[in-house]
């Protein structure tokens, strides 16, 4: 694991930059957010009967309910049953453990001086009451300022087809200044619009990230800022993500997911 100091702040502010780059023959677009974390970062799941996955909700509905300034989809889940995949900790409560499955982790420790954790943790460590928030993704993209895709493939055991899939993507990481960074790439799997994990890692490095973990992407990719959707189902809704009004009737359909990250 890598432990990164984070920048505490009493007032949450986040900067936004629209991504528009050319990779090969593809135009790649998305959103880049950076800001201080503690105490504003929360991992929220949608439980019924204390089980993650019994209920699913769109990031927009959940974000509006919780009053998030920024919200994005988080952990992977079974598309058929809705069952959550990986360990989950929400606001200091251990929701579930992974069953000792090795997978990439983003976490924030408890205490007055929390740190962000990127990498791999055991179920035993998850259960020690050390973490305030924790979610697991798939693929540790950037580790200590270098691409870690090949290494994480060997450790986590995901397929080369998962790496090479051109798809919408979602990643959370940190920069050298201790800020948390959220990057969402728009696209469409069926139309081969988006980015591979190798390309994603390279892009994140160019953006100054020193650690980054890949979260659920594809059609789950959703970004909500305030009361407005910037990206839904991986597709662009508003290029600037800075608009102030958007009538509910214009809201696109968004995939219901089991967990999301909320920044207050």
Return d(Cα 210, Cα 232) in angstroms, integer: 27
Residues 6+ apart with CB under 8 A from 165: 189, 196, 197
For residue 139, pLDDT beyond 70: yes
Task: Write the pLDDT tens digit of every residue in 12-60.
Answer: 577 889 999 999 999 999 999 988 765 456 666 655 545 677 778 889 8
Cα 44 to Cα 17, 56, 90, 188, 219: the distances in Å are: 25, 12, 6, 26, 19
134, 89 Cβ separation under 8 angstroms: yes
* Global confidence as pTM: 0.91
- Residue 2 phi/psi, 5° resolution? -120, 130
Task: Write the pLDDT tens digit of every residue in 155-186.
Answer: 999 999 999 999 999 999 999 988 889 999 99
What average pLDDT is seen over the chain?
A: 86
């Amino acid at each position: 694991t890598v432990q990164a100091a984070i920048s505490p702040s009493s007032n949450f502010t986040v900067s936004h930059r629209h991504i528009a780059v050319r990779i090969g023959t593809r135009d790649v677009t998305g959103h880049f957010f950076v800001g201080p974390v503690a105490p504003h970062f929360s991992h929220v799941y949608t439980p019924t009967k204390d089980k993650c996955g019994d209920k699913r909700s769109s990031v927009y509905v959940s974000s509006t309910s919780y009053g998030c300034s920024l919200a994005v989809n988080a952990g992977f889940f079974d598309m058929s049953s809705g069952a959550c995949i990986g360990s989950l900790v929400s606001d200091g409560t251990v929701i579930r453990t992974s069953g000792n499955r090795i997978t990439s982790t983003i976490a924030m420790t408890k205490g007055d001086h929390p740190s962000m954790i990127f990498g791999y943790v055991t179920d035993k460590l998850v259960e020690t009451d050390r973490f305030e928030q924790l979610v697991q993704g798939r693929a540790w993209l950037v580790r200590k300022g270098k691409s870690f895709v090949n290494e994480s493939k060997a450790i986590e055991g995901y397929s080369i087809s998962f790496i090479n899939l051109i798809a919408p993507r979602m990643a959370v990481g940190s920069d050298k200044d201790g800020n948390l960074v959220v990057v969402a790439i728009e696209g469409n799997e069926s139309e081969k619009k988006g980015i591979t994990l190798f390309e994603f890692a390279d892009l994140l490095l160019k953006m100054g990230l020193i650690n980054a973990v890949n979260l659920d992407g594809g059609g789950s990719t959703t970004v909500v800022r305030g009361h407005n959707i910037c990206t839904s189902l991986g597709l662009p809704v508003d290029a600037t993500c800075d608009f102030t009004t958007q009538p509910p009737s214009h809201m696109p359909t968004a995939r219901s997911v089991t967990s999301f990250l909320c920044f207050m």
